[in-house]
Amino acid sequence: MKKKYSIFSIARNALTSHANWQAAWRSSDPKKAYDVIIIGGGGHGLATAYYLAKTFGISNVAVLEKGWIGGGNTGRNTTIVRSNYLWDESARIYEKSLKLWESLSQDINYNVMFSQRGVLNLGHTLQDMRDIERRSNANYLNGIDSEVLTTADVARLVPILDTSPDARYPILGASLQKRGGVARHDAVAWGFARAADQLGVDIIQNCEVTGIQRNEGRVSGVYTSRGTINASNVGIVTAGHSSTVAEMAGLRLPVESHPLQALVSEPLKPILHTVVMSNAVHGYISQSDKGELVIGAGVDSYVGYGQRGSFSIIEGNLSAIVELFPAFSRVRMLRQWGGIVDVCPDACPIIGETDVRGLYINCGWGTGGFKATPGSGWVFAHTIATGQPHALNAPFSIKRFNTGALIDEHGAAGVAH
């Protein structure tokens, strides 16, 4: 049994120079068979395993990760969390997730540093403002907090924004979701891994799935770089690599994988206490607890699996950030990186069954799935445990591309998150 993290455990370990902390999770070798195999040890995969064990009582579960857990988009994103989406279907699933975020640190006994510092979505044109008002009203009807701010409100809240009328990107107002914010992304992967491990889940790193075994239309296991492992239920949660893994079972997906980049600056004293996003200029920014400005850009339009993107995207992104925040013009950037995001035609995820019985898929979160990590794991665990989608994820079936019932979230998802 793992020891609980608490103020006492910190004090106790401080007395022994922090040399006696237990490993946060066991390093397991794969068993021959499991009840459920989750392919992909990102936040969504780990959350799925945790809720399978905790909420649905299925703990004979393995999470197979080809690299190290959280080494994919989970550890590469700009950590914005919010639920102010336009359509009922997405509002409900993102709000479920936001509610789980609000008690996540206590629930998994791991400080994910969830900070509800508010998320501003700027409007630069009349049309932006109409969209913002429409979305805020839709949020209201779904019981989601949202306020529409005027230019003066924005100037009061974030004085370093250029709110002058002759700004390159004039700010006509914004929406504000106060319950939105940021979280520590690595902690989300580590915290879910530790909590799942404690309930009996095997976390298996450096284990790449290379094939999906099927028997008469039903999944029976996976081939991996560490041997064949049997399971009658398998969940694919591999984000940017969803198409390649789905293809192992002969499935085609409506997603394309694109590079998405982010960058951080040198640490500064506290200057930006909220999250600022602008769809129109393809930029979003917040300040980390260490003081770095965390800045996200837009996707490259080509398919890319290289975990890096084009320089011109960063150039455009930073020139827009400097127009919005003239004070940042001399800040130096420290690091820049890319992730591979799996984008759906309607900017919404796919969560549910596939044509192969026992094989489930959760993908297509694209540029904005970090915020959904707990909610996505919860509904996916429900789907795998019961063989049926939950009401929250039923609309996100892959069948919507055949029926035409798409959920067009381009406005609220946009390039930004």
Ligand X SMILES: Cc1cc2nc3c(=O)[nH]c(=O)nc-3n(C[C@H](O)[C@H](O)[C@H](O)COP(=O)(O)OP(=O)(O)OC[C@H]3O[C@@H](n4cnc5c(N)ncnc54)[C@H](O)[C@@H]3O)c2cc1C
Name the minimum Å distance from CB 300 to other proteins: 8
Give the one entry of ligand X, other proteins, none that residue 67 binds, where binding means its C-beta sits below a cut-off of 5 to 8 angstroms depending on kind. Answer: ligand X
Size of the site for ligand X (CB under 6 A): 41
Pattern of binders to other proteins over 27-46, x per CB under 8 A? Answer: --------------------
Instruction: Tell me which of 135, 179, 184, 241 binds other proteins, using CB under 8 A.
Output: 241
Binds 253, which of ligand X, other proteins, none (CB < 5 to 8 A, cut-off by type)? other proteins
Q: Which does 140 bind (CB under 5 to 8 A by kind): ligand X, other proteins, none?
A: none
At residue 8, the 3 state secondary structure works out as helix
Rounded CA-CA distance 25/41 in Å is: 13
Rounded to an integer, what distance in angstroms lies between the CA atom of residue 389 and that of residue 168? 47
Pull the structure tokens for residue 78: 């700009």
Q: Which CB sits closer to ligand X, 79 or 354?
A: 79
Question: Smallest Cα–Cα separation from 260: which of 73, 70, 69?
Answer: 73
Q: How far apart are CA 41 and CA 380, in angstroms?
A: 14
Strands 292-299 and 256-267: antiparallel
196, 46 contact by CB (below 8 A):
yes
Q: What sign has the CA pseudo-torsion 317, 323, 324, 327? A: positive
Per CB under 6 A, 50 contacts ligand X = no
3-state secondary structure of 267: strand
Question: Which one of ligand X, other proteins, none is in contact with 255 (Cβ closer than 5 to 8 A by kind)?
Answer: other proteins
Residue among 255, 297, 348, 372 that touches other proteins (CB under 8 A): 255
Place of tokens 């976390």: 203
Is 409 a binding residue for other proteins by CB under 8 A? The answer is no
Q: Does 58 bind ligand X (CB under 6 A)?
A: no
Q: Which stretch binds other proteins (CB under 8 A): 86-94, 159-167, 308-316, 377-385?
A: 308-316
Please pick, from the candidates 254, 322, 327, 411, the single residue that binds other proteins as defined by CB under 8 A. 254
Phi-psi region of 28 (alpha: psi -120 to 50; beta: other; left: phi over 0): beta
Q: Which positions from 158 through 197 interact with ligand X, judged by CB under 6 A?
A: none
Cα 52 to Cα 14, 258, 278, distances in angstroms: 35, 30, 37
**Which residues, numbered 241-270, are part of the site for ligand X (CB under 6 A)?**
241, 245, 260-262
* From 190-198, 219-227, 263-271, 297-305, span contacting other proteins (CB under 8 A): 297-305
Tokens of 161: 């924004």
Which one, of 174, 155, 175, lies nearest residue 325 by Cα? 155
Residues 301 and 310: their CA atoms lie apart, in Å, by 10
Cα(94)–Cα(78) distance, integer angstroms: 17
Segment interacting with ligand X (CB under 6 A) among 28-36, 60-68, 192-200, 399-407: 60-68
**Positions in the binding site for ligand X (CB under 6 A):** 39-45, 64-67, 71-74, 76-80, 208-209, 237-241, 245, 260-262, 296, 339, 341, 365, 367-371, 417
**Positions in the binding site for other proteins (CB under 8 A):** 241, 243-244, 252-257, 300-306, 310-312, 345, 401-404
